[in-house]
Structure 1
Amino acid sequence: MLTALPFPMIDPIAVHIWGPLALRWYALAYIAGLVLGWLYVRQLTKRPRWRLQPEAIDDLLFYCTLGVILGGRIGYILFYNLEHYISEPLDILFVWHGGMSFHGGLIGVLLGALIFAQRQRLYFLEVTDALAVATPIGLFFGRIANFINGELWGRPADVPWAMIFPTGGDIPRHPSQIYEALLEGLVLFIVMMIASRRTYLLEERGRLGGIFLTGYGLARIVCEFFREPDAQLGFLWGGATMGQLLSIPMVLAGICLILRAHRRPPQPA
């Protein structure tokens, strides 16, 4: 057997509240991502180039929370394990057992942002630009929580930092959750932060959203080469994984938004 780093056995439960009630690291990751993202967007919208008011971001947090939870769960059911949930419909409610999809959560957040923009009489792309800058924060914490849970591990590996995960057999594997936390979370956050300072928001509406979609899609496609595909799906068309196939439309949509923003004539403030 190849040498591997020991997996840090961290209790998935962060705080035992009372009896069966407990607060898991996975739930804390969602809370941290939403709250820190909300605070960051509030700071962004204080800059004169943003038309969004910081006070309106409080309402936006509500729509995003619903979108993340409902969209993420429904997306996982439809994209990854529909057959199981048709046969066991009550399992849909057991979210603490895992089963959330980023792509489903993205669709949910976009629908929430659309409702919010209509109610606030704002441009939809202005709202999504703000969300795009903050989303990598949640992605980072979410992937760290996946690592703590010992789930979504990588493919067999012989690299010095390979790990043997509790549910992954006795084979050293890539810690792909860490790869995703760094690439989809930290690196993408830095890219979005730099882009937000160099984008003329009124003239280039949608550019930040396009950069995020393209950046995340490419990062996810790369990371999927190191991540073990879902057991119930395996490899799909052309040897690709479901995560890669769902990310391709994101990249194309992101490029279209960037080109649209670049070619768009200047708009009056």
Structure 2
Amino acid sequence: MQAVIPFPDISPEIFSISLFGMEFALRWYALAYIVGIVLGWRLVVMAVRRGHLWRGGEAPLSVRDIEDLLTWVILGVILGGRLGFVLFYQPGYYLQNPVEIVKVWQGGMAFHGGLLGVMLACLGFAWSRGIRFLSLADLLCMAAPVGLLLGRIANFINAELWGRPTDAPWGVVFPTAAAQDCPGVEGPCARHPSQLYEAGLEGLLLGAVILWLVWRHRALWMPGLVAGVFFIGYGLSRFVVEFFRQADAQFITPDNPMGYVVHLGNWGLSMGQLLSLPMVALGLFLLLIARRHET
């Protein structure tokens, strides 16, 4: 009999209350966003206050700038993440049901869209304050792995974005009907806990590497270096995990059971892999720019 790990019985809702005939609930995913933003903000403030981390002994922006930036970042994450999901994953559905776009409480956020939204927000903020954009990008990329770690753990608790069927002893039996729809599998269907793979690679490992570079090797002295490492690290991590992650249902057909959006003979690329390749290319470009500030 195959060894499997039962899914832990954790409710997606931390607590709920009824007010004026309406039900309000705090979900793990929302808490992950809140805690990730707060911890990331405090990490950035710590870096700004430590002059030895910056060339010339002083950060190019103040703590007050960081506090003002927080609102821009929150809007970029929410608007970009939602619009990215709409455009990249289900454009046909939302074109027919445009009112559904604003219903973010029903789920549906894309990391690549959220990242693009934050980048545009930072561009606008940096231009309005006369701040070097690459230094600002480095700070945000230093903080981003914290949110990624918490967000992927919340995905696991929500029993969403699970992986492909597996007979590995660490396979998890997710409780939803969709997760148990595994053609050819008899009995409980175990899947890769791909959310935890991403939490480990994009959150713990990438975050540790970036903090080591910042605090031990003065990476912030070279604008663009931290951002370059983040884009390359995230892009490669996501590309690898996509081999174990179940493709989104709208891409899976009888003729395309793996859900590829680009076909390369018997192989192909998922949407996540396709969106990650430009991130790696951008990261390499940023590393080339950072080398100009090495001396």
Q: Could you tell me the TM-score, scaled by structure 1's length?
A: 0.95
| Secondary structure of the structure 1 residue equivalent to 2:49 | coil
Aligned position for 2:184 = none
| 2:212 is equivalent to residue 194 of structure 1 | yes
In 1, distance between residues paired with 2:173 and 2:294?
54
Contact conserved, 2:5 with 2:170, CA < 8 A, in 1?
Answer: yes
In 2, distance between residues paired with 1:254 and 1:58?
27
Q: Which amino acid in the other structure matches residue 236 of structure 1? A: V
Aligned position for 1:254 = 283
CA deviation profile, 1:134-155 (whole Å, cap 9, x unmatched): 0000001110110011000001
In 2, distance between residues paired with 1:252 and 1:200?
20
Aligned position for 1:9 = 9
2:271 to 229, 236, 242: 242
Q: Which amino acid in the other structure matches residue 24 of structure 1? A: R
C-alpha displacement of 1:261: 1.1
| 2:42 is equivalent to residue 30 of structure 1 | no
1:159 to 160, 168, 177: 168
Q: 1:226 to 1:265 in 2, by over 3 A?
A: closer
| Secondary structure of the structure 1 residue equivalent to 2:244 | coil
Written as runs of structure 1 = structure 2, the 5 A alignment for 1:1-269 is 2-18=2-18, 19-48=22-51, 49=54, 50-167=59-176, 168-169=179-180, 170-197=188-215, 198-199=217-218, 201-202=220-221, 204-233=222-251, 234-237=259-262, 238=264, 239-264=268-293
Q: 1:158 to 1:52 in 2, by over 3 A?
A: same
Contact conserved, 2:219 with 2:225, CA < 8 A, in 1?
Answer: no
C-alpha displacement of 1:84: 1.0
Q: Which amino acid in the other structure matches residue 222 of structure 1? A: V
Q: RMSD of the alignment, in Å? A: 1.4
Q: Which runs of 4+ in 1 moved over 3 A?
A: 199-202, 263-266
Q: Percent identity?
A: 51
Contact conserved, 2:60 with 2:132, CA < 8 A, in 1?
Answer: no
C-alpha displacement of 1:265: 7.0
| Secondary structure of the structure 2 residue equivalent to 1:244 | helix
The runs of 5 or more residues in structure 1 that have no matched partner are: none
| Secondary structure of the structure 2 residue equivalent to 1:17 | strand
Of the two, which has the highest radius of gyration? 2
CA deviation profile, 1:96-121 (whole Å, cap 9, x unmatched): 22110000000000011111111221
In 1, distance between residues paired with 2:46 and 2:294?
28
C-alpha displacement of 1:182: 0.8
CA deviation profile, 1:163-184 (whole Å, cap 9, x unmatched): 1112200311000001101110
Q: Which amino acid in the other structure matches residue 150 of structure 2? A: F
Q: Could you tell me the TM-score, scaled by structure 2's length?
A: 0.87
C-alpha displacement of 1:264: 4.4
